[in-house]
Structure 1
Amino acid sequence: MQLRDRTFLLLGGTGGIGRALIEPLQAAGARLVVASRSQPVLPLPDCDWVQLDLAAANLGAELARVSEQHPLIDGVIHCAGQNRFCRLDALAMADWQQLMAVNLTSAFAVSAHFVPRFRERGQGALVFVGSTFGSIGFPGYSAYCATKFGLRGFTEALRRELADTPIDVLYVAPRATQTTMNPGAVDALNQALGNRVDPPETVARDIVDTMVRSQTRRYLGWPERFFVMLNGLLPRLVDQAMRRQLPVIQRFLMTEGSK
């Protein structure tokens, strides 16, 4: 995928992985329109900023406003997301709906809005940042996994639906990443389990590399890539491994739930 002189709408570009994407994308020659729910605290270097709430009931109208303001957009990077680490019975329905809106429903809305426009332009790209937990169900992340499993399935179907068009559909799944989205209990859990955690800058470079290579799907990190394959082929083995880890996970779940 050619990045130079293209204009990308970067969703979730003011924090975590999204913020880290700005520099490598610009270094590759891309122009950026950064969207977030609230105005960024830190200045965005050489970027346009637009306000956009991905959980808004009128998201379609808001996307139309963004397109009118920035008609040269020919790519979208969906890097926005929310997370909750808690027991199922501790998750309020409002939290479930918020996760679904931001992590999954917005991906559909963004695609439905931009696909016809990209068809007319004769060029377009939809890049979705998923998660290893979009392929491996993990205790304490039932709602988050649901949204990310859904995102993975959505992008797979959409890519096949648009296979005869000039629109690229890419899916990148990072493993655990050092972002403020993770509460202290999650950081402690990763340390207790020995999980490797990537800095957002590393993940951002891998996402840009995936775009340059036009790699349709990519899972980041080892042995996480192996466990994704194993869970698809022999899920019972992963069940057994998770069962052994469950007492440790439950300890941190109780810590998080008590806050």
Structure 2
Amino acid sequence: MVWCNQRWLILGASGGIGEALGEQMARKGARLLLASRSPTPCRAEGSTYVRIDLASEDVEAQMADICQRYPDIDGVIHCAGQGLFAAVEQTPLQELERLWRVNLRSAYAVARCFSSYFRQRGHGELVFIGSTFGSIGFPGYSAYCATKFALRGLTEALRREWADSGIAVRYIAPRATRTGMNSPAVVAMNRALGNRSDSPEAVALAIVRTIERKRGRRYLGWPERLFVAVNNLIPAVVDTALRRKLSIIQSYLKSEY
């Protein structure tokens, strides 16, 4: 079985997708290291809590310490993330840097630390949780999109750079998910736009199945998968579609401030 007795490190496990993922993987027999910035009760059976601050300057040293303490990690899932719904003129550089540290810089640190770790072991998996907004630029999410587009590019490059290494790189992009990351304005906007959203449990199940089926990349939700494909081939079509919805988006964007 894929999970039986395997040890996995989940980054961002204190809530939302990460918490749901830990519970599902534990039921399948995985041994888990649940990492977050502040201690939380480990509800997943057989799991161990480890502290890590993904926004810190010494994030690489913290990951190296985990590698040293747990030399039998088979896979890492980076599902930590910070969101922001704000216009560019309302977003100071400090806010962009905050998102950049958690959404991209920490993912890069994972790749640096675990590449040598997995090469020594001869195998390993790195799973990165992105977003539909890592493929489609959306009004009000310019800073968030910038970090998630970069994360998608990172995973694509790593997959090709490590093609002969035995290290598997997987990228999974959920659509809107019902987590605490969404402000009331975002929830109301999605409702007004008719955007569908998924539960953390549904996204966690999709992540588990993607790993089990050894898929390199997966985009979740319909018609979001179609929009991603259209945006890649004919971005002007998506430009026009979002232009028609811009007044609605702007009304909720202004309500945030």
Which bracket does the TM-score occupy, shorter chain normalised? over 0.9
Preserved CA contact (<8 Å) 2:37 2:52: yes
Deviations 1:187-215 (A, max 9, x none): 00000000001001000000000000000
Pick closer, same or farther for the CA change 1:250–1:41 going to 2, 3 Å.
farther
1:161 and 2:166 correspond = no
TM-score by length of 2: 0.97
Aligned to 2:183: 183
Aligned to 1:74: 74
Deviations 1:51-75 (A, max 9, x none): 1001110111111111122121121
Pick closer, same or farther for the CA change 1:42–1:61 going to 2, 3 Å.
closer
Task: State the alpha-carbon separation in 2 of the partners of residues 152 and 234 from structure 1.
Answer: 19
1:91 Cα deviation (Å)? 1.0
1:44 Cα deviation (Å)? 4.7
Aligned to 1:244: 244
Aligned to 1:97: 97
SS in 1 for 2:249: helix
Q: Trace 1:1-259 onto structure 2 (pairs within 5 A).
A: 2-40=2-40, 43-256=43-256, 258=257
Percent of pairs identical after alignment? 54
The amino acid of 2:204's aligned partner reads A
Deviations 1:154-189 (A, max 9, x none): 000100111111111000000000000100000000
Preserved CA contact (<8 Å) 2:42 2:48: no
Task: State the alpha-carbon separation in 2 of the partners of residues 62 and 222 from structure 1.
Answer: 38
Preserved CA contact (<8 Å) 2:26 2:44: no
Q: Structure 1: any 5+ residue segments left out of the alignment?
A: none
1:95 Cα deviation (Å)? 1.1
1:45 Cα deviation (Å)? 3.4
Task: State the alpha-carbon separation in 2 of the partners of residues 108 and 35 from structure 1.
Answer: 17
CA RMSD, Structure 1 to Structure 2 (Å): 1.2
Q: Structure 2: any 5+ residue segments left out of the alignment?
A: none
1:41 Cα deviation (Å)? 5.4
SS in 2 for 1:138: coil
Over 6 Å off, 4+ runs: none
Aligned residues, how many?
Answer: 257
